[in-house]
Amino acid sequence: MNTAGRLCRAVLVLVAAAPAVGADPATELARASKYFRDGKAHRADFVQTFTPAGFTKSRRETGTVVVQAPQNLRFDYESPKKIFTFDGKIARFYSPADRQMTVRALSDEDRAQLPLIFLQTAEELAKRNTLEVEERATGATILVTPKAPESDVSWIRLTLAADGAPAALSFQTSSGDRTDFEFHGYRTESPKDPSTFAIHPPAGTRIIENEP
């Protein structure tokens, strides 16, 4: 699968104190929801590690992400330069080097499989997933396992920092590909205009719409 396909899959199949004994998923997810629902934009640095199924060698990429509730986000990758955005309805991936942008409108079913569980409530997630809180030294980790056997994702794990900010997000697709994100250096910014979460590439860019 090409880079655009993997990034779209990541959205279609996404953001440390140890949890107290008896912690439940609803309580932990509420902390994440509260962190983002302050009317501001939240920017963080990220490290993404992608490991293809059957391989031990991974590819590491870095960049910055902007998250703005209710469901807006933008990933800016450093090298190679590329941009991925989601505005709650449409996912866009732009590769300047390829002079190509992929645009995909997401159905309700697609959005239900988003790994961005820190922007959803426990009630929303529980409709299609089994939710658990794992006891881990790295922080409060929420394990999300889809109930549908045909789901594109096998599991999602979200680790929260003490203030509710996502510290790490990992998920594995049904084909065995694994993606791990680490987030750090959060800072709040003024709310972003909707154009921040849309991409307007230069003239001559090839636009591919609604490709799986």
- Structural domain boundaries in the chain: 3-209
Q: Is 152 helix (H, G, I), strand (E, B) or coil?
A: coil
- CATH 2.50.20.10 for domain 3-209: yes
Number of other CB atoms surrounding residue 209 within 10 Å: 10
**Confidence check: pLDDT of 14 > 60:** no
With beta carbons less than 8 A apart as the criterion, state whether 109 and 100 touch: no
Given the structure tokens 């697709």, which residue do they identify?
A: 173
- Residue whose C-alpha is closest to residue 85's, from 6, 212, 209, 199: 199
The predicted structure's pLDDT at residue 115: 58
pLDDT band at 60 (very low <50, low <70, confident <90, very high): very high
Q: What radius of gyration, in Å, describes the C-alpha atoms of the chain?
A: 17
The predicted structure's pLDDT at residue 152: 86
Residues in the chain: 212
Q: Is 2 helix (H, G, I), strand (E, B) or coil?
A: coil
pLDDT band at 99 (very low <50, low <70, confident <90, very high): very high
DSSP tally for the chain: helices H, then strands E:
4, 12
Element holding 168 (H helix, E strand): strand 166-173
pLDDT band at 126 (very low <50, low <70, confident <90, very high): confident
Least confident of 11-25, 99-113, 168-182, 186-200: 11-25
- Residue whose C-alpha is closest to residue 35's, from 132, 202, 162, 200: 162
Which amino acid makes up residue 95? S
Mean pLDDT score, 34-51: 94
The predicted structure's pLDDT at residue 97: 94
Mean pLDDT score, 39-52: 96
The predicted structure's pLDDT at residue 140: 72
The predicted structure's pLDDT at residue 21: 40
pLDDT greater at residue 189 or residue 138: 189
115 is written with which tokens?
Answer: 């790994």
